Amino acid sequence: MDRLRSFLKDSIRKTVDFSQTEQGLGRPPPPVQKPPRPDARRIRLAAPGRWEGIAPVTVEEAIRRRMSVRQYAAEPLTLDELSFLLWATQGVRRRLSPAVTLRTVPSAGARHALETYVFALRVTGLDQALHRYLPLDHELVLERAVTDVEDALAAATFGQSFVAEAAAVFVWTAVPRRMEWRYGAAAHKVIALDAGHVAQNLYLACEAVRAGTCAIAAYDQESLDALLGVDGREEFAIYLAPVGRRKA
């Protein structure tokens, strides 16, 4: 048990020779965004500040109303609302260099080792399929169609059936090498912390679109990775959150 608890500590940082990390050795950083397939369909999203249907909500009100929601109405999300939620959780505010972006969420060393996948179940203007957010372009890329996706999502979350009732399911994957490039063996705890920052932004942003979410850390790793089509080693699921319209 003590060995497992050590992950929560930062003791490992004292053992890392940062001059021997990839950054310390002068090697180029990995891409900050997983490139889409050249032939993949891409969906342009409403630009930040130009989306419709987003209600002004004070920070105080969003924090006060924020809660985990596990029951969703059948009403779909709009593409503008999804655009806003994606921007709120991984949007790029400024690109300082090809390897460094400032986003709407904090990340250790601005490494942003997460990718955002969206299972669109009921989103106006989107096919029911797996998409991925391209933060550098503020676009969605169609990854692939998934048959019986509701049943597959419920099975991949150990029977949490409310996941399949959402309008969209956000799944964040970790691409560890982005963080390892700078921090070596000290990278992994901060990747998990980054996922928490992202999920909290989603909770707060949902308050502006009359929606709710419930972050989930209990899932079948191998099943969810297979559903996403990732290799489970260089990229794997780390967190997920269904989003749906709140029931009246």
Q: CA nearest 62: which of 213, 192, 168, 171?
A: 213
The answer to the question of residue 71 being in a domain is yes
Q: What is the mean pLDDT of residues 155-173?
A: 97
Neighbour tally for 58: CB within 10 Å: 9
- Given this model, what pLDDT does residue 17 score? 96
- Give residue 31's pLDDT: 94
pLDDT at 15 (0 to 100): 95
Q: What is the arithmetic mean of pLDDT over 217-235?
A: 97
Q: Is residue 208 part of a domain?
A: yes
- The predicted model scores a pTM of 0.96
Residue type, 57: V
Strands 92-97 and 100-103: antiparallel
- 212 inside domain: yes
Whether residue 1 lies inside any domain: the answer is: no
- Judge whether residue 196 has pLDDT over 80: yes
Q: Partners of 240 in the beta sheet? A: 171, 216
Flag whether 68 is in a domain: yes
Nearest to 172 by CA among 114, 235, 112: 114
Strand boundaries in 90-194, DSSP class E:
92-97, 100-103, 114-120, 129-134, 139-144, 168-174
Please state the rounded mean pLDDT for residues 21-39: 95
Q: Which tokens sit at 160?
A: 């949490």
pLDDT, residue 3, reads 85
Residues comprising the chain, all counted: 248
The per-residue pLDDT for range 84-118, each reduced to its tens digit, is: 999 999 999 999 998 899 999 999 999 999 999 99
DSSP, residue by residue, 105-124: S--GGG---EEEEEEESSBT
3 is a domain residue: no
* Number of domains observed in the structure of the chain: 1
Whether 67 has a pLDDT exceeding 90, the answer reads yes
Share above pLDDT 70 across residues of the chain, in percent, rounded to a whole number? 100
CA–CA separation, 225 and 159 (whole Å): 16
Residues 6 or more apart from 101 whose CB is under 8 A from it?
Answer: 32, 92, 94, 95, 110, 112, 135, 136
d(CA 98, CA 142): 24
* pLDDT level of residue 53 (50, 70, 90 thresholds): confident
Average pLDDT on 50-70 reads 94
Q: Which amino acid is at 174?
A: A
Query: What tens digit of pLDDT does each residue of 110-152 get?
Result: 999 999 999 999 999 999 999 999 999 999 999 999 888 999 9
CA separation for the pair 53, 230 (Å, rounded) = 34
> Does 248 score more than 90 pLDDT?
no
Reply yes or no on whether the pLDDT at 76 is more than 90: yes
| pLDDT category of residue 164 using cuts at 50, 70 and 90 | very high
Q: What is the pLDDT of residue 200?
A: 98
Residue range of the domain that includes 93 = 42-48+55-245
Q: How far apart are CA 160 and CA 155, in angstroms?
A: 8
Residue keyed to tokens 């009359």? 210
Any domain includes 7: no
Q: Is residue 109 part of a domain?
A: yes
pLDDT for residue 64 is more than 80: yes
Per-residue confidence (pLDDT) for residue 146, from 0 to 100: 85
CATH code for the domain in which residue 88 is found: 3.40.109.10
